[in-house]
Amino acid sequence: MPNQPVRSGSVVARRYRATRRIASGAMGEVWEGVHVELGTRVAIKVLRKEAFECREMVMRFAREALLLARIQSEHVVRVIDYVERGKHGPVLVMELLEGPTFADIVHRERVPIDEAVDVAIDVLRGLQAMHAAHVIHRDVKPGNIVLRQTSDGRRRAVLIDLGVGRLVEHEEADGSIDIEIEELTTSDRVVGTLEYMAPEQILDCQNADASVDVYAVGALLFRAVSGVHPFGDKRGVELIREKIHRPVPPLRTGRRDGIARRFEAIVQRSIAFKAKERYQNADELLADLERLRRDMRAQISPTLLATRHLRPIVPPPLPTMRVRARKRKVAIFAAAACAALFAACTSAYGGAHADVPAPAKAAADDDSAEVCR
């Protein structure tokens, strides 16, 4: 009997043993597992019975495997195996990514500019590899970004979930036209997550190009740093109407320094109302964000070096006469020196924490992965 439910201990596709369920949704489940002979830890993605009975969902599942197999990047999850038929239905086996999603972070707190830029740079490098393989993700959002811990203690952002991805028709080196899985794409209407979708993706999802993924990166930067979506808590038809007819409101980071102003300008250009005014590809946005990151680091490093040479201000010994007046002068001198030191450090660090209001509660954006089919 096909599509039997997976349980802990189940042997899936004859060579992977499921150990624990790590994610579950309306259409499928993801299990941590291990190769029964090699001992390699993997992630096993399977469809629920309801999805298995839907031909379109099965085709989407196969498409995700085919698209992932085309891409080689440390910033895109790697596919290991795909089994189309078996007692558990179609099975997609991928590398196991351990770490929170970016959604876990942005739903909890506002993200500092430097951390948001780091994530966006990783995502854009993943998109570069995808677009070079003629693949459009079409659902870039915080919930589809896993923050993986690396051996040096840093976090690397990795893109997942190409279930609504699109393979763009293109000419191969031998002159043939690759339309490998275009038939399913043209049957789609609107797919993606509204909060991160470009207006043209809403209006014409079938012909969405690489620029819609770049728009989504700008939208997630806005969400991460401000704590709200570009159009606030609007949802559904109201959000569609706003996106199609109105420019995006300005981003407010709560900072007034040069780095913050440059960041705001980059984000606003990424999600500009008119497509021709935006970054046209991942390379352009990546170049601007990498320059911004270099300048941020250049501001911080000299400050850290300078503070090593600072010495505490020690007032001279007080004489026995006129103690009260002398104490007042010393107190004023010390307070002024501390204020000057604080101002200098704040300026040098780019006002990293100046005038930042508390995180705002935003709508749960990752529950609307597919708007309409």
Any idea which residues carry the catalytic annotation? 139
- Gap between the Cα atoms of 10 and 245, Å rounded: 51
Phi then psi dihedrals of residue 94, to 5 deg: -130, 170
- Kindly give the pairing relationship between strand 145-149 and strand 177-178: unpaired
Q: CB under 8 Å to 151, separation ≥6 — which residues?
A: none
- Gap between the Cα atoms of 63 and 186, Å rounded: 13
Q: Which helix (H) or strand (E) holds 18?
A: strand 16-24
Burial 5-24 (b: 16+ CB within 10 A, else e): ebeeebebbebbbbbeeeee
- Gap between the Cα atoms of 117 and 129, Å rounded: 19
Nearest to 369 by CA among 142, 159, 139: 139
